[in-house]
Structure 1
Amino acid sequence: METTSNLMWPGALSDPSGRRQAKPRAAGITMVIDKGLGQHAFEDLLAAAGEYIDIIKFGFGTSPLYPVELLTRKIEWAKRSRITVIPGGTLLEAAVARDVVPAFFRQVLGFGFDGIEVSDGTIELPRDRRDELIRDAAALGLKVYTEYGKKIFGSRIDVQEFAETAERDFEAGAELVTVEARESGVGVGLFDEKGSCREQTLSEMLRIIPNRSRILWEAPQKEQQVALIKSIGPEVNLGNIPVHDVMALETMRRGLRSDTFELGGAFSDYVI
């Protein structure tokens, strides 16, 4: 019997695309939303799928609810797996609304987070204030991921406004701009009231976006992930992925699941 060090699947089976990048990836980023995993569940997630996760977001305002030791451990474990760890954008929105942004930044750095999400899904955030938050976070050495869109059910994407917002966010120092879809993926932004992709909106966005590798699309549902992989390619950046779907998403990126099986070996047709 072979030793485990000699066990390896053929490349044609482990990655039919032949294009999946190793970490740190410049494209094909997977952002996972953690809504409150405990110690053992989090360790199991990293052991099984850590190689396929690039960003973990502790969703909403959950970060202050953890026991301090558990929060710091989770952050340390994720960083050891070369995963960027960020608190949810709602927590920063709460800090803005309550005028405690400096304290927010101190605790983010103190706990060991290495990135933040700047969003205005719940509050109104003036453009100048958004720029200031992005610049201040970047100056502290944090990776900044911004978010476009409101969390209100029925909200839609203004394509031109999105393009202008993304351009200014990048100028201020953002690494990625995220298209809002909430954790449900229903009735918000790119997805309609049934969770289906608004194809016309997507086509308009792809026509106007100059650098797709810097856009991250929240897509918590499988069919949404399939639609974006087929429309943009396996190296599309996807976010708000449920923790139990990480491996399944990775198989779709590689053409190892029936939903995208026909893409295996033909991924070269897709360009980010």
Structure 2
Amino acid sequence: MDAILIGIILGIVQGISEWIPISSKTQILLVSTLILGLSFSQGYAFGLFMEIGTIFAAIIYFRREVYNVILAIVKLGKGGDLKLLVYLIVVTIITGIVGVPIYLFIVNLITGPVVGIPMSILGLVLIIDGLVIYLSRKKFVPNRSLKDMRLKDFIIIGIAQGLAALPGVSRSGMTTSALLLLGVKPEEAFRLSFLALIPAALGAIGVSVIISKHTVTNVIHIISLNALVISIIVATLVSLILIESLLRFAKSNRILLLVFTLGAIALISGIISGLTSYLP
């Protein structure tokens, strides 16, 4: 298949699936195995590596927050956004503690049905989130933001994000669900979830390159460097559109529709992934 077409397909899949609750690494895994003939371990490692494009998009979109975090580091907490820095550090550390062992196990053992089951559960969780928001709005409006959150909240989010190392589990879906269940207002939940991606994805790429260096190198040779570059560019552009759309939607009164829709997508995606895993 033409390198440009491969790059466009992979970029679109990554750019869309990273921000909605259908595991991006699993979708890339499925596409790369079906279209490119990669093994499951190659597809899984490549799925993590493909997050370069979404990292670029997150940094570009949240450039002000990134600048304030860097400022807090440079000025040793005497400037910038110290609370956001602490949030990212704690969440990333916990993500690594939970996620790296899962990655080391999964990279050598990927079973079919497991891909679909966690995603279906996540879909149900998101739908429950929507019900919680709907019912809670009759008594109180979720209005927690980053300044109201404590260390235990950060740890919970880190655990949720670490569990996303499992095939079929969406990182954004896990973290957004955790934030919503902690009473964080929807628009802030999406923002904090997207920001947590940056250090977590950088770490995931680092682990993928270190642990599966030979596999990643082989995949790049199979796909070609041109296709990889194109896929990263496309993923960045598509991601910017998705981030803006989801955050705009989260600020509106239609947040319940968004949560229920994302939940349904995750549920259906999990069922389809589970069923296709049984196909020869």
Which band: TM-score by shorter chain?
A: under 0.3
The structure with more helix, counted as a fraction of residues? 2
The alignment's TM-score, normalised by the length of structure 1, stands at 0.26
TM superposition score normalised by structure 2: 0.25
